[in-house]
Amino acid sequence: MTTPDKTLFEKALAAFKRSYSPYSQFPVGCALKTTSGNYYTGCNIENASYSLTLCAEATAISQMVNEGLQKIDEIFVIGQGDALCTPCGACRQRIREFATEDTLIHIGDTHGLRATFTLGDLLPHSFGPHNLEHSA
């Protein structure tokens, strides 16, 4: 099933509203569900020293890992504007660390879902943990 549950959208929207983005004025919210059914959320957190900005996806993933979970089942990202707010390249790689190529990435705005991709769609032929699995 590719349709995200309503809870995932609502949690992403709540995170979107908590965004700290005074410099870009571009709030982003993210909610992820783990394979065990737990939810974690994140928003973008900007900084006067611009390059220190944290993306919403990075914030959500850090919440998840800090709570001891490491497997993303699906993820919902909310942004604004005409263009789909797909995860930036760095965040695709961050998601890759804790997901599979079939993991669903839902993209929406404050009104709801706009598109769904798999991680494999957004980051094909990825470098990941499997690259570092080698026998001594």
Active site (catalytic) residues:
57
107 binds ligand THU (CB under 6 A): no
7: tokens are 């809870």
Pick between residue 4 and residue 87 the one whose CB is nearest to ligand THU: 87
User: Is 50 in contact with 39 (CB distance < 8 Å)?
Assistant: no
74 binds ligand THU (CB under 6 A): no
Neighbours of 93 (CB within 10 A): 14
Helical spans, DSSP H, in 18-55: none
44 binds ligand THU (CB under 6 A): yes
118 binds ligand THU (CB under 6 A): no
Strands 104-109 and 72-78, how do they pair? parallel
The contacts of residue 37 (CB under 8 Å, 6+ apart) are: 73
- Window of 61-69, 84-92, 96-104, 109-117 that interacts with ligand THU by CB under 6 A: 84-92
Which residues would be at the binding site for ligand THU (CB under 6 A)?
21, 24, 26, 28, 44, 46, 53, 55-57, 87-88, 91
